[in-house]
Amino acid sequence: MLDSPPSPRRRQLLTSSALYALTTATLWPYVGRAAACDDAANWIPPDAFLADLPRLMQALRVPAIGMAVVERGEVVWSRSLGVMNAEARTPVVESTLFEDASLSKPVFAYLVLQLADLGVIDLDAPLVRYRRMDYLADHPWVDLVTARDVLRHSTGLPNWRKDPAKETLVPAVKPGTRIDYSGEAIFWLQLVVETLTNESLDASMQRLLFGPAGMRDSSYTWSKDLAARSVYGHRAVEDEETGMPPQMLRDTWNAAQIVADRWGKPLSAWRYEDAARALPDVQAITPKGLVNWAGDILANAAASLRTTPGDYARFMALMVRTRREPWQITEATRTAMLTKQIDVPGRWTDKGLGWNLEATPRGPVFYHSGSNGGIFKNFALGDARGQRALVALTNAGSGNVLYRRVVRAATGHDLLAFDL
């Protein structure tokens, strides 16, 4: 008598177990090199690993990966492999844009700290002093949230509301008392920055950071050119569904683009008021439930950054480089970004300003991961003492499995962040 076929859940577990065994086994050729990494070694992935990378990508069903390395405060290496879209098979090139997801947050944090250094914003002043959004709850804890709380994730606010069109935003605990990772808080701070600069997020970014840093292929927003150069996201290897999944930001941006073209006002210039005015028109041309509030069609400091790997590495170079230009944040502010900002007992990782911090056997590192819609997985890691950094951007839900192997092979770091 034949055994019954495994249930869908059982097949998923079997697939995940086999995937773990396969990817663990394929890592063995590089363990010796990785374990030997020390302060004198660079973080460029070894040749043997790079030669095997296409096989790992195929096994994990990751159509594309982009990587870049900073050494001694300079971008010294970058490489992109694979295709933008598994169905169209368009190869990635140096100018291909990846969706950075939550790697957007540290870049935005840098802008906020530039404004703090310029005296435009006080990190310890209540945000309501600058802008109180109508979707904020009438609660005393709302009045306590500061920019510092936002950047160290101690606002008490949720990551995202389930129904932003109907729910008010309120802290679950008193700000400054615990860590609550919050995209909502980042977005509120973005709207504060809009008020203080009197311009859109992308305009501020281009003026204060992207332009001076030479990040010519970076944007928090959307255009036809950005769309043509942006990778598509793909499901994780254990997902049994076939076909291309919904593309979240791409789908909403394309709809908003129609309204922007009608108005003659590019999305890069939109502020919150523009998105609110466009909302009914966008909802009229999109499936019900795709666009629920103005925040869905506005540049999002928490999640919508697009860059090339090389551009993100240029940003990482600012984080590890000790010499500075007048437009950069001060050395004291850079140090604060990479220093624990709140003491919460029992944590295995700490929060700086925009970055996570972890102690390792070879000294402290800072890092951030990113995941948008379960189909874009990214990671950035830096060592300020060694003036080095690594970024890995992917376009698949299994990309986190792959980028961990890149990090281990290139740096020798096996972070607690990968397991907890």
Burial zone of 244 (CB within 10 Å; 0-12 exposed, 13-18 middle, 19+ buried):
middle
Question: In the structure encoding, which two tokens stand for residue 162, read together?
Answer: 């389930």
pLDDT of 266 reads 98
Question: In the structure encoding, which two tokens stand for residue 65, read together?
Answer: 């990966």
pLDDT at 29 over 60: no
**Across 139-159, average pLDDT:** 98
**Segment 158-180, tens digit of pLDDT:** 999 999 999 999 999 999 999 99
Contact 175, 145 (CB under 8 A): yes
**What share of residues in the chain are helix, strand, coil (percent, to 5)?**
40, 15, 45
pTM of the model: 0.91
pLDDT of 18 reads 41
pLDDT at 24 over 90: no
Reported as a pLDDT band with limits 50, 70 and 90, residue 217 is very high
Residues in CB range of 318: below 8 A, 6 or more apart: 110, 213, 328, 329, 334
**Across 303-316, average pLDDT:** 98
| Residues above pLDDT 70, as percent of the chain | 90
pLDDT at 12 over 70: no
pLDDT of 238 reads 81
pLDDT of 10 reads 33
Residues in CB range of 357: below 8 A, 6 or more apart: 338, 339, 340, 349, 350, 351, 364, 365, 366
pLDDT of 40 reads 65
pLDDT of 52 reads 98
Exposure string (b/e) for 84-116, b if CB count within 10 Å is 16 or more? bbbeeebebeeebbbbbbbbbbbbbbbbbbbbb
Higher pLDDT, 222 or 7: 222
pLDDT of 33 reads 45
Run of H or E residues at 350: strand 350-351
| Residues above pLDDT 90, as percent of the chain | 84
Contact 103, 368 (CB under 8 A): yes
The per-residue pLDDT of the chain, averaged, comes to 91
pLDDT at 19 over 50: no
pLDDT of 346 reads 83
**Segment 346-380, tens digit of pLDDT:** 888 999 999 999 999 999 999 999 999 999 999 99
pLDDT of 387 reads 97
**Segment 68-87, tens digit of pLDDT:** 999 999 999 999 999 999 99
The DSSP code for 224 is H
pLDDT of 9 reads 35
> Residue 301, SS3?
coil
Reported as a pLDDT band with limits 50, 70 and 90, residue 237 is confident
Reported as a pLDDT band with limits 50, 70 and 90, residue 345 is confident
**Across 96-105, average pLDDT:** 98
pLDDT at 390 over 50: yes
Reported as a pLDDT band with limits 50, 70 and 90, residue 38 is low
Reported as a pLDDT band with limits 50, 70 and 90, residue 88 is very high
Residues in CB range of 134: below 8 A, 6 or more apart: none
pLDDT of 21 reads 40
From 9-23, 320-334, 339-353, the region with the lowest mean pLDDT: 9-23
pLDDT of 39 reads 61
Give CA–CA dist 124/148, Å, rounded: 6
pLDDT at 3 over 70: no
